[in-house]
Amino acid sequence: MTVTRTATLPAAPAGPPVARPPRRRGRAGGRRERPNWLAGVLATGWLVLVAVPLYYLVAASFRTRQDYLSTSPLKPPSAPTVENYVTVLQGGFTTYLLNTVIVTVGTVLIVLAVTVPAAYAVARNAGPLVQRMFSLMLIGLAIPAQATIIPVYLLITQLRLYDTLLAIILPTAAFALPVAMLVLTNSLRDVPKELYEAQTLDGAGPLAVLRHLVLPLAKPAITTVSVFTALNAWNGFLFPLVLTQSQSTRVLTLGLWDFQGQFGTNVPGLLAAVTLSVVPIFVLYLIGRRYLLSGLTAGFGK
């Protein structure tokens, strides 16, 4: 990930391409640097499409309602105000945020707790039964979770979990398992057999190997899986929509939708809520861009 290192540097105008061939070598997969107009134009067009709505989002969230209704949405706010943010924070936002955090943490913990030992078993070939189960689970990659919401709803009501945070956590975690297993198993298969065997010769049981060898070596994969799972849980909409009801169990995504109805014509208020909902992920993006991006493409980005 070269980008991570250069991203913080100021944007230098693209000089004559000939000027810097030395930088090209020594890194995997460099490309020629003659300007590519077609791709450049496309990329610029895309940039405008990304930047304008996001600018509008942030700008509008600082507008008064009067300002929003009367001035062009592309002009900066005439009298910036944080009033919208106050309204949102007083309107249940913190409850929703807390619920989302609980759901996210809970989902990640469950996924890691069940997949790390399972991936270890698969990678160390714990028998044909386990291998077959693993293949079966990978088919789950292609299974659309959305098509199972009705039986999941039935299951959750029968378990008397309806309208609890656990109702969201359990199915969210279950549908995160296939990707998590794929990523973890692939990474554990990379561990040289000799390492496992050396531990075993030293008299370590499987549990000790898991703790002293698997956990440290699988750390990057565990990070990827955590990020991937956490983002899914954080952004989840359908399971919360179908499996919860009351305000005390409402998660952020559902809360946004609710603000939409609640605020009616108060669009700046709604956009302030949307902006606030992005802030936590944005902070993570600034801190660990590399981990976030690798987690986003978990299992597919090789």
Partner 1 sequence: MRTGQQRPSAWYAAPALLFFGLFAVLPMVLVVYLSFTDWDGFGFPQPSGAENWSRLVQDGEARDALWLTLVLMVLSWAVQTPVALLIGVWAAGRQRNRAVLSSLFFLPLLLSTAAIALLWRSVLDPNFGVTQSLPFLDRFNFLGNTEIVIYTVVFVITWQYVPFHTLLYQAAARSIPVSLYEAATIDGAGRYKQFFTITLPLLKYTVITSTVLMLVGSFTTFDTILILTGGGPGTTTRIAPLYMYITGFSGFEFGYASAIAVLLLALGAGLSLVVTRATGFRDMQSQQEGV
Contact with partner 1 (CB under 8 A): which of 64, 87, 148, 266?
148
Contact flag: residue 86 with partner 1 (CB under 8 A)? no
- Asked whether position 103 contacts partner 1 by CB under 8 A, the answer is no
Q: How far is the CB of 227 from partner 1 (least distance, A)?
A: 12
> Among candidates 150, 152, 147, 142, which has minimal Cα distance to 173?
152
Told to check if 46 binds partner 1 by CB under 8 A, we report yes
| Shortest Å, Cβ 3 to partner 1 | 5
| Pick from 112, 58, 128, 106: nearest CA to 279 | 58
- On whether the CB atoms of residues 97 and 297 are closer than 8 A, the answer is no
Amino acid, single-letter form, for residue 180: A
Alpha helix (H) residue ranges in 236-266: 238-243, 252-263
Nearer to partner 1, 56 or 94 (CB): 56
Smallest separation (angstroms) from partner 1 to the CB of 143: 7
**2 touching partner 1, by CB under 8 A:** yes
Binding range to partner 1, per CB under 8 A, among 76-84, 86-94, 125-133, 222-230? 125-133
- Output the CA torsion sign for 51, 54, 56, 59: negative
d(CA 246, CA 224): 33
Provide the minimum distance between the beta carbon of 43 and partner 1 in the complex, in angstroms, as a whole number: 5
Among 197, 220, 247, 287, binds partner 1 (CB under 8 A): 197
Q: How many CB atoms lie within 10 A of CB 227?
A: 20
DSSP letter at 76 equals P
Q: Which of residues 235-294 bind partner 1 (CB under 8 A)?
A: 235, 237-238, 241-242, 252-254, 256-257, 260, 267, 270-271, 274, 277-278, 281-282, 285, 289, 293
Q: Of 62, 106, 171, 244, which lies in the binding site for partner 1, with binding defined by CB under 8 A? A: 171
| Cβ count within 10 A of residue 254 | 23
Size of the site for partner 1 (CB under 8 A): 122
Contact stretch for partner 1 (CB under 8 A) within 49-57, 79-87, 90-98, 220-228: 49-57
User: Cα-flanking dihedrals φ and ψ of residue 75, to 5°?
Assistant: -80, 150
- Which residue do the tokens 């949405």 mark? 73
Using CB under 8 A, pick the residue from 130, 195, 215, 287 that binds partner 1.
130
Q: How far apart are CA 35 and CA 38, in angstroms?
A: 9
CA separation for the pair 168, 101 (Å, rounded): 12
Task: Indicate whether 7 belongs to the interface with partner 1 (CB under 8 A).
Answer: yes
CB of 265 to partner 1, least distance (A): 9
What is the spatial distance between Cα 201 and Cα 181, in angstroms, rounded to a whole number?
27
For 173, the token pair is 């975690």
From candidates 89, 101, 102, 155, binder to partner 1 by CB under 8 A? 155
| Positions 200 through 229 that interact with partner 1 (CB under 8 A) | 200, 204-206, 209-210
Q: How far is the CB of 30 from partner 1 (least distance, A)?
A: 5
Note the Cα 295 to chain centre separation in Å. 7
